[in-house]
Chains A and B, each alone.
Chain A
């Protein structure tokens, strides 16, 4: 039984439909990657799971529990945390406050404490009392991941965590992923960088214009298949 499952997931922004029946499954301990062109619905998919966009009640199941009607604030308490696209740290809070606010709705006991996040990203400890906007892009991304971990999630949803960062910084951030997984957290990555996504994930889903165009294990997929699923040729 999958830990997190979407069943024919549709999502809407007002009258505009962004997702047309997406079926996915995330097993406990797994990392899956969602790839696809801009506007394919990848971020909407994560927002629909996290409760930020309207979706049918029974279209998202977490531990067999339908969570489609739950609010975003409830969903994080159940154990699903989202690292939003563009980091979106709270600008008037310092780094440590950003991390602490991540534990605001914490209902779950778990490994992630301030000290544990600081040991994962030591630079954040050095910058703990700086205002969030003064951090570099990579440090902000680390803080955004740390903030999400502070809720002790069983599933971590990561939206474009490599966007706009230098390759060396991306490597630093992805180096943290095995440690996060080792604490028992399953991961859903939305990633523009296909090579990176293929390298770290157990399974890949490709979206195209709000529909699932391909899924499979990275080593079983050919370049041509991915190209066709990505661009729709």
Chain B
């Protein structure tokens, strides 16, 4: 019984990480219907940026991410403004091809700069600290912080989307690009701002990716897959759905691993397929198309 309860708790905590991977993907898909195939590699790139900043400035990763976030916002804004906005239109293929190319460029660029060695963000005692819940169950401080950060990110994104003029412009542009322009909304700028915001979320995801496990330049595509599955399971266009999707995925993997360690990854994919078969629009769909 304790084992099952522990699996559920650890699964929910792992879900926080997947929700962080997925939140940025969900945000940009929600605003501009862009499927960013480089999302996982961008998380890895952000982890390397945090690693370099922490090393050069002698900062703890939690401080380094505060320095990295505005830099990543600027990179995301520029990437969208200069490159990705040109690919958006009626045809879905150009953004897929360009972000796929971007994924390859990032992976190879990182391999050149950092080699294929595994890296890790170091934050001292907090990495191994845990809180005992009694009954032989303990939760790690970093996994707990991951989940709390995921919830905070979702709450803040919801506040931005539903309580600010910027969020109103995001939703209006997503609803009807042509009429949004009639409201004086510069959609190129709105898309670039959304991408900048997604990059800030990517920075937070990268922090926990690097604290919880080793990373190297080639692990991006697998992070993209988890993020993608969490978004689809949760339902397109809903941030709370994305959090739920991440948790469903985390639970499936952790419970699968308890049944047989080899089943961990497979269980996540199976649950994704089952949700896709039963509810193709996800558990909490919001987008109408």
Interface of A with B (CB < 8 Å)?
50-52, 71-73, 76-77, 81-82, 84, 88, 90-93, 97, 100-102, 104-107, 147-148, 151
Contacts and interface: CB of A to CB of B under 8 A. Distances in A.
Contacts of A90: 171-172, 175-176, 179-180
B127 interface: no
A105 B175 contact: no
Contacts of A151: 183-184
A102 B179 CA distance: 10
B175 A91 contact: yes
Nearest to B187: A73
B125 interface: no
B130 to A, nearest CB: 42
Contact of B172 (A52, A73, A93): A93
Interface of B: 165, 168-169, 171-172, 174-176, 178-187, 286, 288
Contacts of B186: 71, 73, 105
A84 B178 CA distance: 10
The 5 closest A-B pairs by CB, nearest first: A105-B184, A72-B181, A90-B175, A76-B184, A90-B172
Contact of A73 (B175, B176, B185, B288): B185
A71 B184 CA distance: 9
Contacts of B174: 92
A104 B173 CA distance: 12
Contacts, number: 72
Contact of A101 (B168, B178, B286, B288): B168
Contact of B171 (A51, A93, A102): A93
Contacts of B180: 90, 101
10 contacts: A50-B182, A72-B182, A76-B183, A77-B184, A97-B171, A101-B180, A101-B185, A104-B165, A104-B183, A104-B185
Given A84-B179, A88-B176, A90-B179, A104 B171 contact: no
B245 to A, nearest CB: 20
A73 B179 contact: no
Nearest to A76: B184
A91 B171 CA distance: 9
Given A90-B176, A92-B174, A101-B172, A52 B182 contact: yes
Contact of A88 (B179, B184, B288): B179
A84 B172 contact: no
Given A82-B182, A90-B179, A101-B168, 7 more contacts: A72-B178, A72-B182, A73-B184, A93-B168, A93-B171, A105-B184, A105-B185
A81 B169 contact: no
Contact of B182 (A81, A93, A97): A81
Contact of B181 (A52, A107, A148): A52
Contacts of B183: 73, 76, 101-102, 104-105, 147, 151
Nearest to A107: B184
A77 B181 CA distance: 11
A71 B188 CA distance: 12
Contacts of A76: 182-184
Given A88-B176, A91-B175, A93-B175, A100 B168 contact: yes
A92 B175 contact: yes
A102 B165 CA distance: 11
A102 B184 CA distance: 8
Contact of A100 (B165, B176, B286, B288): B165
Contacts of B165: 100, 104
Contacts of B171: 90, 92-93, 97
B91 to A, nearest CB: 14
Contacts of A88: 176, 179
A198 B168 CA distance: 38
